[in-house]
Amino acid sequence: MLDILAISGSLRAASTNSALIAALAQNAPPGCRITVYDGLGRLPIFNPDDEGERTPAEASALIDAVSGADGVIISCPEYAHGVPGGLKNGLDWLVSRDAAVGKPAMLVHASPRSLFARAALAEIMRTMSFALYDEVPLEIALLGKKAPEVEKILAEPANRVAMRNALSAFAGFIRQC
Ligand SMILES: Cc1cc2nc3c(=O)[nH]c(=O)nc-3n(C[C@H](O)[C@H](O)[C@H](O)COP(=O)(O)O)c2cc1C
Nearest CA to ligand 1 atom 23: 77
Question: What is the structure's pLDDT at 11?
Answer: 98
Question: What is the structure's pLDDT at 48?
Answer: 97
Question: What is the structure's pLDDT at 124?
Answer: 98
What kind and span of H or E run contains 150? helix 147-155
Spell out the long-range contacts of 61-69 with Cβ–Cβ below 8 A and sequence spacing 24 or more: 62/37, 62/90, 62/93, 62/94, 63/93, 63/94, 63/97, 63/99, 65/5, 65/35, 65/37, 66/5, 66/94, 66/99, 66/100, 66/103, 67/98, 67/99, 68/3, 69/3, 69/4, 69/5, 69/35, 69/103
Question: What domains lie within the chain, and their CATH numbers?
Answer: 2-176 (3.40.50.360)
Nearest CA to ligand 1 atom 3: 79
Name the maximum alpha-carbon separation found in the chain.
49
Question: What is the structure's pLDDT at 136?
Answer: 80
Cα separation, 19 vs 110, whole angstroms: 9
Q: Which residues contact 175 (CB under 8 A, 6 or more apart)?
A: 2
Question: What is the structure's pLDDT at 134?
Answer: 87
Report the atom number in ligand 1 closest to the C-alpha of 77. 17
Query: What DSSP character marks residue 20?
Result: H
Distance 47 CA to ligand 1 centre (A): 26
In the chain, which residues have pLDDT < 50? none
